[in-house]
Amino acid sequence: MAFWARQISIWCSSVKTSNVANSIQRLRKTHRTWMQLDELSVLSLLCTDNRFLQRGLKTYRPVSLGSRLQSTNSSNGQIVSSESNLLSPVNHYQQQAEVIPSSDTKTLYEVWEDTPPSSALEEISEEEAVQIVAEPPLPLGSFTLRDYVDRSETLSKLVLLGVDLSKVEKRPNAGQLLLRLDFEKDIRKRLLFLKDVGVEDNQLGPLLTQNPYILAVDMEALETRVAYLKSKKFGKEAVARMVSRAPFLLSFSVERLDNRLGFFQKELGLSVQKTRDLVVRLPRLLTGSLEPIKENWQVCQVELGFRRNEIQHIVSQIPKILTANKRKLTETFDYLHNVMGIPHHILTKFPQVFNSKLLRVKERHMFLTFLGRAQYDPAQPSYISLDKLVSMPDEVFCTEVAKASVKDFEKFLKTL
Amino acid sequence: MAAGRAARTRLNGLFAVYKPPGVASIRVRDTLETLLLKELNSLEQPTVPQQVRFLPTTVEGNAGKELTLTVTQLPVLAAHPLVKGPEFTHLKIGAGHRLDTKSSGVFVLGVGHGNKLLTDMYNAHLTRVCSGTEPVWGLLCVTPILTRNQGQAYTVRGLFGKATDDFSDTGRLIEKTTFDHITGDKLERILAVIQGTNHKALLMYSNIDLKTQEAYELAVEGLIRPMEKTPPLITAIRCLQFAPPEFQLEIQCVHETQQYLRKIVHEIGLELKSTAVCTQVRRIRDGFFTLDNALPRTHWNLQNIRNSIKDSKIKVKVGLQRSLSHQARSGKRHTDMDQVAESELHSTEGTSASDLTQNEITTC
């Protein structure tokens, strides 16, 4: 249709390929993720209604990438490819465009003679007038998804679902991926699958924010992995919990998951049920690297001097110890054991002290020493248990444990 | 939507926090920035602007189905907070005189326009001194060294009997000695010697001739101090507690570093024919900010910081004006002595009159 040709010609003349190439080179240095529109997503973004496409592209050759471009006429395929040549520094998906046979060249010249460039004063019907889309052209490349979100159905639906696009666009190639996907075809299936697994509606948004790449994983792969987890006797709620708390879980292959579960069983020496509980409690263990966990295990055994069964008990209560910072762990233990004088068996009973900040423990301990109430031996009177020392908020700690006012605590803090 | 932005534009000025020991001061600055940004972002209410759009729809018209445009109001998703990101991502927070990781105490920070005041405070060469009252007019017996509201003051705890490589109790042990022979008056004698030598150096670096009227005026106001970069100078030092092997000193100084203070403790030990290490360096005052003004860690939030900025605004302004007027005076001093003498008299009269009225107000 005439108006369509006008649209594309205006748009293409505004594209300066040299500018695009230069800006790409300059922007590569700035370490931000660059998203580019390919031919198909441009067309799909511009036309949100099938009807337009069918009308407008009646004279154009089908380009087989898409869902919506259903037109039949083959003679103007050349025009499409010439436009795509203009966009070539920008276009990555050329390999899917169809090869145009040389016999069409003649028809091409005929077509070009038949449709001279249309003038703006040409009369068009009411329906065509209504269909003119007078919005500014989309930028061919951009740093942010803000430029595309209003015109893209996929992106709008994702925003309404709760996906934080400002975080997603910072991940490498995630923005490009989302631009390429189509909601009806790709995303809907996976969202329904996740819902079947048991992920809540309000958790779908955060999950996709953290791991947008899950939308590019094959459906069969996802199903096999969930089936594998179920075969290892993880219950439905457990699997749902694991998937929502470790968004990258289903991006891992079955071999990797198997490897990880095997590691936890052998190295840590835990029973099958305990491994399951551990993994359900902190599913991040399955998605992270195993090296820090091995190191922390060695630290606990060799440097801190805990026995094997003690470490197993601590780990089942506070799995975070396995992923904690080695240096901070040793510093906290050093203060607890050497300065506060707490023996190993009491530390095993209250492993949550390893989870808290060292500064907090130090301040509270010094306050109690100042008041003369620092008694951590259960056999002695006025004994203060470590969980009361660490887990309570300041007001409760001051009034109940230290039996002093919060103001005194603050004054004491200023004397440290 | 306006609440956050209004709060951000009004957040300008200087405030002091109490830095806990064992934390780097850069970490403290970053923690405060993150806290403030989180609170400012939470104050913003997410409202998405609406846009009027004309969408084509099919409508049953006169001749069957027709295409017309209908008016709808749709939200502009490009301005949605999930697409835009948080409103505030950066706050300009500057740190004043830094404290190293092992020491603690009053740590002055500036927000927004307050950072300019930070540079002014640095140029005013305020020393870090103990909290004190405003100088009383005519108190000539006060020695010029105890410059109130100037400089930095520290309480330093030391331990006799050990010497380490970095002068603190967590360093590698080098030597152990006896300290039974040390008494209180021996310590006082050493401190007096230190104070005396530093006083001489202070007068030398201040570049004033003690025999002039101008020097007298300055001494009375308590503004004798060096106005350019100098090595560390101790303006006052005294012993607060002495219970061997532990002792506690209060040091008022200019242009110092915490490691210098630890070195002083080490040297005191050497002078007393023993050894000493420093267990704690704690700043109790930095310029106009004292321990009372410093916010402890439990009070690090937007409301308290705003109140703290408001409270210290007047003090900082007045104090900087006084110090910088003195600096202007000393600038004139170096040009021509005769001209300077006359103009000095006029300017000192002017400032002393204003000081008089100020002090009358404070004393009344």
Q: Is the interface score ipTM higher than 0.85? A: no
- Nearest-neighbour CA in chain B from A97: distance (Å): 31
Q: Are B33 and B87 in contact (CB under 8 A)?
A: no
Mean pLDDT along residues A283-297 = 89
* Cα-based angle A355, A402, A362 (whole degrees, multiple of 5): 40
DSSP state of A250: G
The contacts of residue B144 (CB under 8 Å, 6+ apart) are B218, B219, B222, B224
Catalytic (active site) residue B185? no
> Closest Cα partner for A146 from B217, B220, B246, B82?
B82
B245 upstream amide cis, omega within 30 of 0 = yes
Give me the residues of B, 94-113, that contact A with CB < 8 A.
104
CB distance A244 to A207 below 8 Å = yes
**A residues 165..194 contacting B (CB < 8 A):** 165-167
**Chain B residues within an 8 Å CB radius of A395:** none
Best of B54, B82, B88, B107 to substitute, by most chain A Cβ atoms within 10 angstroms, is B82
- The rounded radius of gyration (Å) of the Cα atoms in chain B is 29
Query: From the candidates B100, B169, B311, B355, which is the catalytic residue?
Result: B100
pLDDT at position B281 is 94
What is the distance between the alpha carbons of residues A63 and A70, in angstroms, rounded to a whole number? Answer: 9
pLDDT at B86: 87
Chain B: closest CA distance from residue A369 (Å): 17
> Is it the case that residue A384 has pLDDT exceeding 60?
yes
Composition of chain B by helix, strand, coil, percent to 5: 40, 25, 30
Asked if the C-beta of B273 comes within 8 angstroms of chain A's C-beta atoms, the answer is: no
What are the residues facing B153 on neighbouring strands?
B285
Q: Which of A130, A146, A164 is facing B78, going by the closest CB pair?
A: A146
* pLDDT at residue number A97: 37
**Chains A & B: contacts with CB separation below 8 Å:** 66
CA–CA separation, A39 and A249 (whole Å): 33
Q: Rounded to a whole number, what is the distance in Å from the CA of A358 to chain B's nearest CA? A: 10
Q: Is the pLDDT of residue A113 over 90?
A: no
Taking all residues of chain A, what is their mean pLDDT, rounded to a whole number?
76
Contact B165, B172 (CB under 8 A): yes
Q: What is the DSSP letter of B128?
A: B
Phi–psi pair at B71, nearest 5 degrees: -90, 125
Residues of chain A contacting residue B299, judged by C-beta atoms under 8 Å apart: 410
Contact A150 B20 (CB under 8 A): no
Q: Give the nearest partner residue to A166 out of B23, B85, B299, using CB atoms.
A: B85
Tell me how far CA of residue A192 lies from CA of A159, A177, A214, A246, in angstroms.
17, 19, 13, 18
Residues of B whose CB is below 8 A from A408: none
| pLDDT per position as a tens digit, A212-241 | 999 888 899 999 999 998 998 888 999 999
> Which pLDDT band, with edges at 50, 70 and 90, does A32 fall under?
low
- Whether residue A57 lies within 8 A of chain B, CB to CB, comes out as no
pLDDT attached to residue A111: 55
C-alpha to C-alpha distances, A342 to A336, A384, B224, nearest whole angstrom: 6, 12, 54
Q: What is the pTM of this model?
A: 0.74
Average pLDDT value for residue range B224-244 = 87
CA distance A52 to chain B (A): 11
For residues B266 and B278, the answer to whether their CB atoms sit within 8 Å is yes
pLDDT tens for residues B120-140? Answer: 877 776 544 332 333 333 332
